[in-house]
Amino acid sequence: EMGGYPHYMLKEIHEQGGVCRATIKGRVHDGKVDLSGELAMDEETIKGFKAIHIVACGTSYYASLIAERVFERWTDLDIKVDIASEYRYRDSKISPDTLVVFVSQSGETADTLAAQRKARESGAYSLAVTNVQGSTLARSCDDFLLLKAGPEIGVAATKTFMGQITSLYLLALYIAKIKGTLSDQKQKELTDEMIQLAYKIETILEREPSIEDLAWKFADYKNFLFLGRGMSFPVALEGALKLKEISYIHAEAYAAGEMKHGPIALIDPNVPVVVVAPKDSLYEKTLSNIQEAKARHAPIIAVGFDGDERLASDADHVLYVPSTLEEFSPFVTVVPLQLFAYHVAKKRGCEIDKPRNLAKSVTVE
């Protein structure tokens, strides 16, 4: 049932092109996203939304942080993203014209369910973005949007993260269409590129042997620092989480611009720095962070776009991914980081599909 793979996690990483494709299928027509047949919210309801809150835990929270950056770029909504175990106890203003989106693969996470009860009491419209149609979350929200990831067995979330970002991007494009905040031409450009992502993801999977080689070189380090800016900051967070949860190596992620506000003190030849550096509008800034880390003799692993030679001259190792529009870079940059974490854990002999102390769904607080 693992389809020839030694672990579910690896199988699920390899399914991600398919998940992206399946999640988009039937939801894009003539360069526009259409979710009208499946969402309960109608156009009037959508036009009435002034704010959006996205609430989740763990990897689902990192997917939400990525979505935050496109919601603020593509729509006119005021956006807030929070961790469910914080949101439920805070005093954020949730009004009836707020759309509150709960992102949960399982739909059973205790803190996410508690946050949903709070939103419901405030009269806001709640939407579940989940992989499990019959889950408690899907049943308690006013509305739900399904990821088409299929069951995920490995405890570390991989293909459901891909399904989450795909679904959230579709939601952002759909809301932008109805609110008229993106031109037809821009919507077409974005949906055309979105359809290409599955192929790009599959290209990265073919490069697994070189990622495995690199993972073997780095499997004995005790601390890692992950850096990224803009769209790549949440990708750095997710890359560090994957590494720590399955290989038990300490990994911290920072917004690259925060480096000189503290974490730079940690950098020395024993702390590899993984920098997510796609060629986007913040690329030059990220490159200067690479140089700062390099000046302190940290081994540098960069994730960058194909053809980016400059990166190769500054970093010790580059994991190349096919280039895409700035907004979509997380779809490609996250994949080598998942494979890197997987192969480091495998080299260390860890129990990859069932890491210690973790459960697939966290139904206690």
**Interface ranges with ligand F6R (CB under 6 A):** 57-60, 104-106, 109, 112, 156-157, 241, 245, 361-362
**248 φ/ψ sector (left φ>0, alpha ψ -120 to 50, else beta):** left
Min dist. Cβ of residue 156 to ligand F6R (A): 4
Report d(CA 291, CA 286) in Å as an integer: 9
Report d(CA 362, CA 234) in Å as an integer: 21
Q: What secondary structure does DSSP assign to 202-223, as a single string? A: HHHHTTHHHHHHHHHHHTT-SE
User: What does residue 61 show for φ and ψ, rounded to 5 degrees?
Assistant: -70, -40
Can you read off the two tokens belonging to residue 310? 């400059």
Can you read off the two tokens belonging to residue 316? 């010790």
Amino acid at site 3: G
Of 110, 140, 114, nearest to 127 by C-alpha is 140
Min dist. Cβ of residue 58 to ligand F6R (A): 2
Give the residue closest to ligand F6R by C-beta. Answer: 58
Is 360 a catalytic site residue? yes
Note whether 32 and 194 are within 8 A (CB): no
Catalytic residue chosen out of the listed positions 32, 179, 188, 360: 360
Min dist. Cβ of residue 154 to ligand F6R (A): 8
Q: Is the dihedral of CA 262, 264, 265, 267 positive or negative?
A: positive
Min dist. Cβ of residue 261 to ligand F6R (A): 26
Is the CB of 39 or the CB of 110 nearer to ligand F6R?
A: 110
Is the CB of 59 or the CB of 323 nearer to ligand F6R?
A: 59
Instruction: Please report, for residues 38, 77, 256, the alpha-carbon distance to residue 32 in angstroms, rounded to integers and kept in the order given.
Output: 15, 19, 34
Q: For residue 304, what are the β-bridge partners?
A: 320
Is the CB of 67 or the CB of 315 nearer to ligand F6R?
A: 67
Is the CB of 104 or the CB of 323 nearer to ligand F6R?
A: 104
Min dist. Cβ of residue 85 to ligand F6R (A): 11
User: Residue with structure tokens 């997710």?
Assistant: 238
Is the CB of 28 or the CB of 128 nearer to ligand F6R?
A: 128
Show which residues are catalytic: 360
